[in-house]
Amino acid sequence: MNKLIATLIAGLFATAALAQTPATAPAAPAAVKAEAKEAKTDAKATAKETKTAVKAEAKTAKVEADAKKDVAVAKADEKAEKADAHAKAHKTKAKAHAKAEKAEAAAAAPAPVVTK
């Protein structure tokens, strides 16, 4: 961006200098035209370089943003999987505890006496 501004300012100074050149000198207009053409070419080249640099920076920023998004999604998935595993473990422990209580209750209860 700074190169673009510098080129525009240089172009303004060049046109101001051209406007003050006396028109009576026959060799001056050709030299002035050549300088103006060169300044215009330089300005176009600088603008093109600046545009390319800006595009590259934008592309890099997009790639970084995508990478950060992927990391966030992976962390969220990991958190969900961990929560699922925790819930499953809790459920399994509850079943085992209930089974143990049932076994204790059955062992503590006296066996029914069968008479014939």
Token pair recorded at residue 86: 């925790």
Structure tokens at 81: 């999987």
pLDDT above 70 (res 112): no
CA 100 – CA 95 distance, rounded (Å): 9
In 3D, which of 42, 48, 20, 44 has the Cα closest to residue 32?
20
Residue 13, token pair as written in the block: 């100074």
In the chain, % of residues over pLDDT 90: 53
What mean pLDDT is predicted for residues 26-45? 83
Give the pLDDT confidence score for residue 50 in this predicted structure. 94
Residue type, 1: M
Q: For 29-51, b where at least 16 C-beta lie within 10 A, e where not — what string?
A: eeebeeeeeebeeebeebeeebe
Give yes or no for a contact between 22 and 28, defined as CB atoms under 8 angstroms apart.
yes
pLDDT of 56: 94
Phi–psi pair at 22, nearest 5 degrees: -65, 140
pTM: 0.41
